[in-house]
A = this chain, B = another copy of it.
């Protein structure tokens, strides 16, 4: 079965994952073309969240650059100390989604938002128990963060159309399209981990929750 959580605006946060120049700006070293399509969705979501006083938390993948914090990550991405170095243009959030006053930015040294970061403290300190997850890549940083959050007992709402991924070449089992990765990832998450819903539905639910909240308080 798939989960369905109620949105309590006082206990919910929006997590925007890795919408950084390195992944979202054409010509950058690890550009993911598919991120173009999710930018308007994330703009709408974060705009609605801020109006509802729901915290908007940006995760950025960013490493020290001196090799001291890249072990297994460097096994897989040998150029990581250059391409994801803190302070570089690469790791900044894209201008279309620039963080605003009151938003929170969390730098993470690996894929999962909870690995080596203070994300859990930030969420618990605010009494957050529900996370709305969007960003890129669907099946890497977003999925890892979703799995981490679920196993920490957070209620996760993963957005089906505001997470983007890219195709993969043949690694031994044939090439895989971005569409197939998206389909399998969303199906796995919806089957056993969390709620998976389109952005428009969640934006509507946040607006509804605001109306209810303001009429009863």
- Chain A interfacial positions (CB closer than 8 Å to B): 1-3, 71-72, 75-78, 110-112, 115, 139-140, 144, 147, 150-151, 153-155, 160, 168, 171-174, 176, 180-188, 190-194, 196
Contact = CB atoms under 8 A, between A and B. Distances in A.
B186 A181 contact: no
Q: How many copies does the complex hold?
A: 2
A140 B186 CA distance: 13
Contacts of A153: 71-72
Contacts of A180: 180, 184
Contacts of A139: 184, 188
B186 A184 contact: no
Given A72-B194, A140-B188, A140-B192, 18 more contacts: A72-B153, A72-B155, A76-B194, A110-B151, A111-B147, A111-B192, A112-B147, A139-B184, A147-B147, A168-B191, A171-B186, A171-B187, A171-B191, A172-B187, A172-B190, A173-B183, A173-B186, A176-B187
